[in-house]
Structure 1
């Protein structure tokens, strides 16, 4: 009996020493993984120059190195998607000055090709809201570009903003827009996306700070390539657990936005090389430390195109989804100055409270914020199949997101060690 307190103290001390070693190793490995996944050589992990395939091959090689097992003889689950791409050099010249892709301007991701010199007809928010005045302008816009001047949404009512958005969407996407294309002038941060469609007319989003004088004419050489059937892939492996009746699933999307011509690469260090690094770190850990349950690791493709990889997986699962005890989706794992946000925390309150308790006991992250359900990442496809799980992203720190500034050299991985430690302890206690 007298030795019992010493056993407890020794167990606690051993855990602290082990967890420090594990977390330090996880940070070193995560930094290495982010540097590779978000390097220029992986082409923004998009659909130009096989960026997605280069990233998938790196993840596959890591899974293989860790000794993960495969389903159906391969780490890959292949599927097809349509995608609009910009593999060639783009040119936007205003008043004799060539703008810089990604920093001065973006193209709407669904833009088709357009080449030539065009006059520009400007339109204000007030003119758009004056239906008669806007229709008259629209009628004489044939052969020109229509430029919507910057406006402050806070100066307009909810109904007016809805009308403005409706008209702007008409200009951007409707084939009956008589103009050659649309320019959106903005004072906001330039944020890009992907598209599975190609629209009838191009849209150029230009930051107003990049203009040298008034916008009266524009010289364009926009080149896009629409791929109707692009083959991409999910990357999947697993570790057999002590109990094979239930399954833990870790997921993260590895794809990003790729390139806007050779000039602009969207490398996606935080989104989502960081989450993929968390996935790989956990795969490495559980390959060395047998988990309590079968543990599956899924790196999803085509999340940025509309959760396509996860939709395909849940429609074509490699094991029964009913076996999943809990799922965790990692995205934007590279900061944490203000803690983490847990989507589905209020849906699975018992598990959320356990996560918070572990965090408080081990004094790890500064805050854990609760949120309800949200269909904003790959976990959503599992939510729709009644699979319990969390979607977690870090809060605070750098603001780079869906832009050319989200690069590995500026990603701090502020709370990655403690975040990793929290996840391992939470899963091991399930």
Structure 2
């Protein structure tokens, strides 16, 4: 009877910590994805606000700074930003930024009212037709009705049309005012390190007839910054073993920032959730120190080309050769369909151990394997010979690189089980 009571008490205590961890994670996601953090981009210094918050959490938990007395590692990047007004009207009717349209991230500033010339995809199936179209649209916007079903096109025609669309967007030798792309695809934004010659507006508005559009009115303030200083956040907790071997836990904190002064991209799942996982380990290991030295890397510049991790491996603040393993957390906010492990097939022994740990206590629905893919910050380390995983959750909400990736709709369904699994995985080194 005493053993049973003790067991129940232990479970109760465990559940108390369990609930506390998920509450902390939710608080971190809500904070990072709030309007005050400006989408954690490079307009209005959203990246600086976010990095300062993370450094504050590092300091609370007693992490050692690795860059002298600073948790920060500065580096420079180029970026096109949209800090001011972003307004679009079609036929005099105002569209909703982020919901009805996106301004392509490479677009220059533009103001004014312009004629619209509408074409369908089929008209772009030859160089001659494209050049003739551009000639007619010297002072106008071309509106591409891209809602047609590409499956009706043959492989060569599809390739030609895709190349034509890329040329209309980016080829500076083609002289016309701008491009509107009407699509039925989900509106997905990005951030880019360059500015092109013409604005591109991508529109997906229910009930809009592209052929009815005669004019477009624009007020778009974009500013290209050739040298913007941002920063990674780096700290370490010493292990109990006395070994100089190191484990690394990483996540990028940057997101897409602002598209105008009224619309921001919250980035709750991408990647406030991964940052919350990193900070949850900071908090846990401060309470119960790990066996090995553990370095925590919160990267800026991921969305614009894995630039924060690139800066770190080029100027490392810890010996890369002493890293036993790195795990990079990105998109950690769902999990209804389990997790996928990039580099799982490369480091098969570690992947097999992870799957066995999951099977032992049935923590996550699935642990799926994937090969090498240079799609997140682990890649820069893997290229330098560092054993590494990039893990992301699957299932749940589909919001991604849009205005709907918000904390209030991010379920964190399997976050606690995911944390427990990775805690056991790290303990096995």
Normalised to the residue count of structure 1, the TM-score between the two structures is 0.95
Distance in 1 (alpha carbons) for counterparts of 2:203 and 2:402 = 14
CA shift for structure 1 position 414: 0.3
SS in 2 for 1:423: helix
Q: 1:323 maps to what in 2?
A: 322
The answer to whether 1:202 aligns with 2:199 is yes
Distance in 2 (alpha carbons) for counterparts of 1:168 and 1:11 = 68
Extract unaligned runs of 5+ from structure 2.
none
The answer to whether 1:86 aligns with 2:92 is no
SS in 1 for 2:244: strand
Q: 2:94 maps to what in 1?
A: 98
Q: 2:414 maps to what in 1?
A: 415
Distance in 2 (alpha carbons) for counterparts of 1:11 and 1:317 = 47
Q: 1:62 maps to what in 2?
A: 57
Comparing 19-28 and 356-365, the one that deviates more = 19-28
The answer to whether 1:373 aligns with 2:372 is yes
CA shift for structure 1 position 140: 1.5
How many residues in Structure 1 have an aligned counterpart in Structure 2?
424
Q: 1:3 maps to what in 2?
A: none
Q: 2:306 maps to what in 1?
A: 307
Distance in 2 (alpha carbons) for counterparts of 1:152 and 1:400 = 24
Is 2:126–2:160's contact at 8 Å kept on the other side of the alignment? no
Given the superposition, is the C-alpha separation of residues 17 and 354 from structure 1 closer, same or farther in structure 2, using an over 3 Å criterion?
Answer: farther
CA shift for structure 1 position 389: 1.1
CA shift for structure 1 position 81: 0.7
Is 1:79–1:231's contact at 8 Å kept on the other side of the alignment? yes
Q: 1:427 maps to what in 2?
A: 426
Cα offsets for 1:99-132 (capped at 9, x unmatched): 1110111011010011111111122111101443
Q: 2:162 maps to what in 1?
A: 165
Is 1:95–1:212's contact at 8 Å kept on the other side of the alignment? no
Q: 2:179 maps to what in 1?
A: 182
Structure 2 residue corresponding to 1:110, chosen from 98, 106, 111: 106
Structure 1 residue corresponding to 2:20, chosen from 17, 25, 29: 25
SS in 2 for 1:163: helix
Alignment RMSD (CA, Å): 1.9
Cα offsets for 1:189-227 (capped at 9, x unmatched): 100000110111111111142636711211111110111
CA shift for structure 1 position 21: 3.9
Distance in 2 (alpha carbons) for counterparts of 1:325 and 1:13 = 37
Distance in 2 (alpha carbons) for counterparts of 1:379 and 1:271 = 15
Is 1:23–1:420's contact at 8 Å kept on the other side of the alignment? no
Is 1:253–1:303's contact at 8 Å kept on the other side of the alignment? yes
Given the superposition, is the C-alpha separation of residues 425 and 360 from structure 1 closer, same or farther in structure 2, using an over 3 Å criterion?
Answer: same
CA shift for structure 1 position 64: 0.2
1:231-380 equivalent positions in 2, closer than 5 A: 231-243=229-241, 244-380=243-379
SS in 2 for 1:259: coil
Distance in 2 (alpha carbons) for counterparts of 1:11 and 1:255 = 45
Distance in 2 (alpha carbons) for counterparts of 1:74 and 1:11 = 45
Is 2:130–2:164's contact at 8 Å kept on the other side of the alignment? no
Comparing 82-91 and 237-246, the one that deviates more = 237-246
SS in 2 for 1:317: coil
Q: 1:53 maps to what in 2?
A: 48
Q: 1:224 maps to what in 2?
A: 222
